Amino acid sequence: MKSSNTHKGAAILILLFSTIFLVITGRFLYIQSTAEIEGVNLNEWAEEARTSSYSLDADRGNIYDKNGMLLAYDRPTYKIYAVVDPEYSRSEEEPEHVTNPEETASVLAPLLNMEESNIEERITEAQEEGRFQVEFGSDGRNLSQEQKEEIEDQELPGVDFEEESKRYYPNGTFASHIIGFARNEDGHITGVSGVEQQMEDYLREEKGEISYERDKYGTKLLNPNEVLQEPDDGEDVHLSIDQKIQTFLEDAMATVDEQYEPEKIMAAVMDPKTGEVVALGNRPSYNPNDLGEVDNWYNDIIADSFEPGSTMKMFTWASAIEDGVYNGDDTFESGSYEVSGTTIRDHNREGWGDISYDEGFERSSNVAAAKLGYEMVGPEKYRKYLSDFHLDQKSGIDLPNEGEGSILYDYPIEQVTTAFGQGTTTTPLQLMTAATAIANDGKMMRPYTLSKVTSSENGEIINEKEPEVIDEPISADTASKMRDLLGRVVSGENGTGAPFELNDYSLGGKTGTAQIPKEGGGYLTGKENHIFSFLGMAPVEDPELLMYVAVKQPKLDDTETGSEPVSYILKSVMENSLHYLDINPDQNDDQEVEEIEMKDYEGEKTSEAEEELKENFNKVTVIGDGDEVTAALPEGGTNQLSDQRVLLVTDEPKMPDITGWSLRDVQKLAEHFDLQIEAMGDGYVDQQSIKEGSEIKEEGYLVVELSTPE
């Protein structure tokens, strides 16, 4: 017979289990109806767990030279990884994870240049720790397309790749101090120096993102709730640098660097009429694709300041001419000059006796410079001229980290030495900027390297640089007289610039030999311990190019002078560049060239326009067989030289024979018809990819091979 306690215990248990059941059932019904646990929405949690987000790559803007040559762009590279989680594989027959770490390591080791044991250890550790995948450090990154394909051919289960962008500079050290470099930081390629840094706001890309729901194998569901944010590529930047002239400069600097082993080389070429920097380079340089050991990060020609030496004298003479106190036939006693108890001497110590001031400029007389600046113009006025030439301020070039010199002018001795380029310091770019006033009839131009910014999407111009006159320190008449004096320095009987004379073009300029200060005061001694420089322009009557070259502490033979490495660079670059630009040689006395104003021939009969043009121009080319003119190049209303090629485009254009054309003429044709050009070699065209008489298709591709005439 059961006791009452037994019945009571059973009743309590039934009640307890019933309560638990009701609580669980109620909780279940609550969760089912509300889809929430402890405030967490299960539907949202499941959706989040099923959702994957991936970034969508965007490209940083490209950098081009003035003719469309690609100088910097994003190139895809690959990062290798290995999936080690067995649950990722859908079947044992076709595994999608690493099944054999030892075999995988054996195959990958030689392809990644890694130790086999290192790879195997990484994979097994990841498996033991329950990780999904493993990467292989720096050895597994920046793989090329060829390396990726070679690894894929091995068909290793679980091995896969992720694409990454890397900034690439196809020409290596070419113009590296202008272009600069960019590197990948936090998933973005970011500019660090040069144009890459200066134009970051335009070049920078914005990655996109896509998210969707997927199963555990990564397959998108039928209703994936996809969200897409489109990537935004950076804009394209076009430089004023001309690839051909820059190549002339790079080659010449490389030759001097190898032969003379100088401490530094600085050189730049500018169009003095616009301020465009068409070439600029330094040695030592660096390859932005390989930033291992870099000897020189700085763009010395815009950042480094030092005593300019005798190149400063062109501004002293220009100041005296502008001030109305200069008579080149007046004479002075050369040799020495006393100021405040200090004796200033000419570079040959004893001078040349009683000579004219014009001859003093040819011979680069320190005494003549001292008398002009200190006595004739006067310290106060001369100091103002230095400011007018902007030698006490930055040029404002559109590159980062521009430096500036310092005008030392507190005491009489400093006022005197500044007149011939000692004590006071400037950057090479400050000198070039000031010299544009002499080359450009008194108008001083702001230097620039950034020509325009275009949309990477449709090529539309977003921002375009216009030439800017920043001052007019001298008159056109003074500038003309100075160019005559500069020409005498090179071609005159007593000129110090004789080693710089060109074959086909007149050159005007000024040599400079700057002393190098040493620690503790004073200057270094010895003929090699100088900065040898030249600042010149050509053709001297109407300069098309302005160039500065400086070579610091070259290793010279006993018979060599500092002008030899400098003149090699200047002569090579100037001569080749002027020919490349199809500038008329002015050293040939038999050749008569006139300046003629072009008229607008659009709509006129082809035969009549051709006949009229041939009366004035030596080279007239008709483009096609049409009866009516649709365009004449150059355009009407512009002044052109009679030896320049004129193109007459008809309403039925056909490809002409361009053999013997300069690259500049080819570019005129290409620009009109929107052709892409690839040029190989130097000199003039001897082969063309589009045959004579063929149809000219807009946005077509033209390859020309050039050679230098014998």
Between CA 404 and CA 419 the distance in angstroms is: 18
- The answer to whether 275 touches 448, Cβ cutoff 8 Å, is yes
Partners of 533 in the beta sheet? 512, 550
- The answer to whether 209 touches 232, Cβ cutoff 8 Å, is no
C-alpha distances (whole Å) from 198 to each of 138, 219, 238, 242, 373 are 29, 43, 13, 19, 39
- The answer to whether 357 touches 332, Cβ cutoff 8 Å, is yes
DSSP annotation string for 287-325: -TT--SS-S--S-HHHH--B--GGGGHHHHHHHHHHTT-
Which distant-in-sequence residues (6+ apart) come within 8 Å of 527 by Cβ? 556, 561, 562
Between CA 630 and CA 636 the distance in angstroms is: 12
User: Which residue is it, tokens 């996809």?
Assistant: 226
User: Which residue is it, tokens 């910097």?
Assistant: 72
C-alpha distances (whole Å) from 643 to each of 195, 346, 537, 615 are 38, 45, 22, 12
Query: On the CB side of 153, how many CA atoms lie within 13 Å of its CA?
Result: 7
H helices within 365-446, ranges in order? 366-370, 379-388, 412-419, 428-439
Residue 310 designated active-site: yes
- CB neighbours (10 Å) of residue 73? 17
* CA-only gyration radius of the chain, Å: 36
Query: On the CB side of 275, how many CA atoms lie within 13 Å of its CA?
Result: 24
- The answer to whether 601 touches 650, Cβ cutoff 8 Å, is no
- The answer to whether 281 touches 254, Cβ cutoff 8 Å, is no
Which distant-in-sequence residues (6+ apart) come within 8 Å of 525 by Cβ? none
Between CA 270 and CA 262 the distance in angstroms is: 24
User: Which residue is it, tokens 């400093």?
Assistant: 414
Q: Which of 89, 176, 310, 334 is catalytic?
A: 310
Terminal CA-to-CA distance of the chain, rounded, Å? 133
Catalytic positions, written as ranges: 310
